[in-house]
């Protein structure tokens, strides 16, 4: 069987499935990604680059779609070259969000396509307009509505769509629900486990160990979509109430979602200006390697996870797998993985007072926290890499036969 993976940032969310298939004796795996894609060892990656950027004359509402067409066009050229060399994939597994798979069926009309159907935009009930601090303008609403043209095209092109959460599936029009199936790609719960001996050592010699009052916050980038502004506004009260508390913040200064602040280089600097904190107690570590990241979660006494109603971060599941006590925003799809009072606590995204109260309660009640920690770790097992691979493999075999 020939399996072709297509992802702008290959392998992206498809890493575990690609690695599994590459180990199968009768499977040939090939990947396509942009010139900046990291790729992965043992899998041949063909890199592409659109021949131009969208025209400045293109209407802003369809700028994203033109960009997608340019990505799809370049990938089509690559696929036609492969076809000329005799290559025929049995199945394509792809993240279509940047347009790469728009024209796959023109090159290979009989090839099955599985799409990672990540997100369908809404003007209400999801990320857009959720935060009153960043109101949705009529221009933004028109732009967002137009972006769904690409996602409708994508869902029409694929044979099966796979999405990580029920909430994400529910965002798509009901007419496509029979085509979309909920399978989380999984996190490495076998490596992400509690460690009572874990400790962190800072360059100044300070150490933090399991059992210390350590509060952690993690995001790919520090920005409002992941509640960074709400977290920062809660910190002064938390630090005042618990003078022994230490806070570890992991995340970069770029923007993954939304916009940069108008009056600062990044959200970290903006929020530090608004909410000055003692940097001897609040440690901004930027982006960290995997082993350090795991250690941070293992020493955490309370892990704060805040998000708009948006794509669920892997970090919340990884924190649960490490046995963290979660205080998280009561937003979809967080409610799919955290049940209030059972395996964590949920608070209103905008209620900084409630956030502080729950963090303080957790720090002061270790026995109750231990129960929630154990339940969180158990809950995370449902999101293992192995279960994710099994779910995807089930659909590959339904579409193409036994692997």
Sign of the torsion angle spanned by Cα atoms 163, 168, 173, 177:
positive
Q: What is the mean pLDDT of each run of 10 residues along the chain (403 residues)?
A: 97 96 96 96 96 93 96 98 97 97 97 97 95 95 95 96 98 97 96 95 88 97 98 98 97 93 95 96 96 97 98 97 98 96 97 98 94 97 97 97 88
pLDDT of residue 217: 98
pLDDT of residue 98: 96
pLDDT of residue 203: 79
Q: Return phi, psi of residue 215, to 5°.
A: -105, 130
Q: In a 3-state reduction of DSSP, which class is residue 94? A: strand
Q: pTM score > 0.85 for this model?
A: yes
Question: Other CB atoms closer than 10 Å to residue 87's CB: what's the count?
Answer: 15
CA angle 282, 285, 288 (to 5 degrees): 150
pLDDT of residue 205: 80
CB 210 within 8 A of CB 195: yes
pLDDT of residue 4: 98
């Amino acid at each position: 069987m020939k399996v072709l993976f297509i992802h702008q940032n290959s392998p992206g969310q498809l890493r575990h499935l690609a690695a599994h298939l590459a180990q199968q004796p009768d499977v040939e795996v090939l990947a396509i990604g942009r010139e900046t894609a990291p790729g992965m060892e043992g899998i041949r990656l063909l890199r592409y680059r659109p021949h131009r950027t969208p025209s400045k004359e293109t209407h802003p509402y369809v700028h994203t779609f033109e960009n997608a067409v340019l990505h799809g066009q370049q990938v089509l050229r690559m696929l036609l070259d492969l076809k000329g060399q005799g290559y025929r994939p049995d199945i394509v597994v792809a993240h279509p969000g940047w347009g790469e798979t728009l024209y796959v069926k023109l090159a290979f009309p009989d090839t099955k396509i599985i799409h990672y159907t990540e997100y369908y935009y809404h003007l209400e009930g999801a990320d857009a307009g959720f935060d009153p601090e960043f109101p949705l303008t009529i221009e933004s609403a028109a732009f967002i509505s137009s972006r769904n043209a690409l996602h409708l095209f994508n869902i029409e092109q694929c044979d099966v769509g796979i999405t990580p959460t029920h909430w994400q599936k529910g965002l798509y029009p009901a007419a496509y629900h029979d085509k979309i199936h909920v399978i989380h790609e999984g996190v490495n719960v076998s490596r992400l486990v509690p460690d009572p001996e874990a400790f962190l050592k800072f360059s100044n010699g300070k150490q933090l160990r399991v059992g210390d009052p350590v509060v952690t916050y993690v995001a790919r980038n520090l920005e409002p979509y992941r509640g960074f502004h709400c977290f920062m506004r809660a910190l002064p009260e938390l630090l005042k109430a618990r003078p022994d508390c230490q806070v570890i913040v992991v995340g970069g200064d770029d923007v993954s979602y939304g916009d940069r602040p108008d009056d600062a280089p990044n959200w970290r600097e903006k929020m530090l200006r608004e909410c000055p904190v003692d940097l001897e107690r609040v440690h901004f570590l930027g982006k960290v390697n995997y082993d350090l990241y795991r250690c941070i979660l293992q020493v955490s006494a309370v892990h704060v996870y805040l998000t708009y109603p948006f794509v669920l971060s892997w970090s919340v599941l990884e924190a649960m797998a490490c046995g963290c006590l979660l205080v998280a925003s009561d937003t979809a799809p967080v409610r799919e993985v955290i049940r209030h009072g059972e395996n964590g606590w949920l608070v209103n995204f905008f209620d900084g007072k409630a956030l502080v109260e729950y963090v303080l309660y957790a720090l002061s009640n270790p026995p109750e926290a231990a129960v929630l920690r154990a339940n969180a770790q158990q809950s995370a097992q449902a999101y293992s890499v192995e279960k994710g691979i099994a779910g995807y493999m089930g659909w590959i075999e339904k579409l193409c036969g036994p692997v």
